[in-house]
């Protein structure tokens, strides 16, 4: 306890993080959400070890539309592929798209929201008009318009940053249409933060505007960004699923939405193949629910006064 020389900030930070985690993990919803999330992240990280390489019509192992059995735990699809295999590989695509588009959305939203709120005046007005523009832009229409253009330019083959072109479009479109929400929240929080006395103090002690934003405002925005980031992920998973369901996915990199789309086209519902529709459906539901749970728990942890509201 009593060391002669106390190292500075790292110890204080470590203590703060430990305290935060203890509080966060005391919520049941956080525990449930984290367990689900870790499970899906592990599945998405090593799909080949768990279920072997992605099956196609050529290397399919089973009969057509076989119900779940010992051999095929989640049954097979209309060309005899193992649904478990597809769902596990789909987890990787779905999660990657959701998380990467959230990163885009958070980076762009935070930068624009913070700049607008901090500088105010004309900067604020113009950045917020830009935000409004993206706020009302429907992700579906945008994706449907952009995808053919990108496919035309890029060609159907090839990959952009490891993604098939149409998936890359989905990724960018989700990022583009969800940052406005983050920017609005960050701006309003910045407006209240910049009136605090510690910003005045930072100015008096000579900090530059950039340093004030990065060292003083940004750390105080982390609660809002983290809690809303989790909700953005949940939304991104839904949008990705819907866009893929509409046929914007790519069969070579099937996400859960693509699987739902295939199942629907194969007539899984009328054929009574509940496993084919149900497996990806439950996955989408579970993952987005766990992100919402985590988001709410983060919100409660950072903002204890909200706890009274059920």
Partner 1 sequence: MPDTADILRLESLQVHFPIQGGLFDRVLGRPAGAVRAVDGIDLNIGRGEIVALVGESGSGKTTVGRVITKLAQPTGGKLLFEGRDMTAERGSSALRPYRHRVQMIFQDAYQALNPRHTVFDIVAEPLRSLRLVKNNAQLTERVSEALAAAGLNPPDDFFARFPHELSGGQRQRVVIAGALAVRPELIVADEPVSMLDVSIRAQILQVLVDLRAKHSMALLFITHDLPLAWLIADRIAVLYLGKLVEIGTADEITFNPCHPYTVALRNATPQVGANAGRAELPALQGEVPSAARVPKGCRFHPRCPLAFDRCRQEEPPAIEVGPQHLSACWLAK
Minimum distance of partner 1 from residue 229's CB (angstroms): 18
Count of positions on this chain that bind partner 1 (CB under 8 A): 29
Does 6 sit near partner 1 (CB under 8 A)? yes
Q: How far is the CB of 216 from partner 1 (least distance, A)?
A: 5
The answer to the question of residue 156 lying near partner 1 (CB under 8 A) is no
The β-bridge partners of 253 are 250
CB of residue 12 to partner 1, shortest distance in Å: 4
* DSSP-H helix ranges across 26-164: 28-45, 47-51, 83-119, 121-136, 139-154
Minimum CB separation from partner 1 for residue 3, in Å? 9
DSSP 71: S
CA distance 260 to 88: 14
What is the CB neighbour count within 10 angstroms for residue 10? Answer: 8
Are 109 and 135 in contact by the 8 Å Cβ rule? The answer is no
Should residue 56 be labelled a site residue for partner 1 when binding is judged by CB under 8 A?
Answer: no
Binding map of partner 1 across residues 194-223, x = CB under 8 A, - = no contact: --xxx-xxxxxxxxxx-x---xx--xx---
Asked if 5 interacts with partner 1 (CB under 8 A), we say yes
Q: Interface with partner 1 includes 22 (CB under 8 A)? A: no
Nearer Cβ to partner 1 (122/155): 122
245 in Cβ contact with 264 (< 8 Å): yes
Q: Which stretch binds partner 1 (CB under 8 A): 92-100, 163-171, 190-198, 267-275?
A: 190-198
**Whole-angstrom Cα distance, residue 141 to residue 166?**
14
Residue in the structure block whose two tokens are 């369901």: 245
Based on CB atoms, which residue is closest to partner 1, 7 or 305?
Answer: 7
Task: Spell out the residues 6+ positions from residue 214 whose beta carbon is closer than 8 angstroms to its own.
Answer: none
Query: How far apart are CB 47 and partner 1 at their closest, in Å?
Result: 39
Closer by beta carbon to partner 1, 9 or else 270: 9
Q: Which is nearer to partner 1, 161 or 204 (CB)?
A: 204
Q: Which two tokens stand for residue 226?
A: 């983290």
Q: What does each C-alpha distance from 205 to 46, 93, 119, 202, 212 come to in angstroms? A: 50, 48, 19, 5, 11
Q: Which residues bind partner 1 (CB under 8 A)?
A: 4-9, 11-13, 15-16, 196-198, 200-209, 211, 215-216, 219-220
């Amino acid at each position: 306890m009593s060391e002669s020389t106390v190292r500075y900030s790292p110890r204080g930070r470590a203590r703060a993080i430990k305290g935060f985690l203890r509080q966060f993990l005391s919520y049941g919803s956080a525990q449930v959400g984290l367990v689900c999330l870790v499970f899906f992240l592990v599945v998405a990280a090593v799909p080949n070890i768990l279920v072997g390489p992605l099956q196609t019509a050529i290397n399919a192992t089973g009969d057509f539309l076989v119900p779940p059995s010992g051999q095929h735990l989640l049954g097979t699809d209309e060309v005899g592929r193992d649904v478990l295999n597809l769902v596990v590989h789909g987890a990787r695509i779905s999660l990657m798209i959701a998380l990467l588009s959230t990163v885009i959305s958070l980076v762009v939203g935070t930068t624009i929201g913070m700049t607008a709120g901090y500088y105010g005046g004309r900067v604020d007005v113009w950045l917020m008009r830009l935000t409004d523009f993206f706020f009302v832009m429907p992700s579906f229409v945008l994706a449907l318009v952009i995808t053919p253009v990108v496919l035309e330019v890029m060609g159907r083959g090839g990959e952009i940053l490891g993604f098939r072109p149409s998936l890359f479009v989905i990724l960018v479109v989700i990022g583009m249409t969800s940052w406005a929400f983050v920017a609005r929240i960050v701006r309003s929080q910045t407006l209240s933060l910049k009136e605090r006395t510690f910003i005045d103090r930072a100015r008096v002690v000579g900090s530059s505007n950039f340093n004030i934003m990065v060292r003083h405002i940004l750390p105080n925005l982390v609660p809002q960004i983290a809690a809303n980031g989790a909700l953005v992920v949940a939304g991104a998973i839904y949008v990705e699923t819907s866009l893929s369901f509409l046929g914007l996915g790519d069969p070579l990199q099937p996400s859960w939405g693509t699987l739902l789309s295939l199942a629907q086209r194969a007539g899984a519902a009328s054929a009574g193949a509940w496993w084919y529709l149900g497996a990806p459906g439950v996955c989408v539901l579970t993952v987005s629910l766990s992100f919402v749970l985590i988001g709410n728990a983060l919100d409660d942890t950072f903002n204890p006064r909200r706890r009274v509201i059920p």
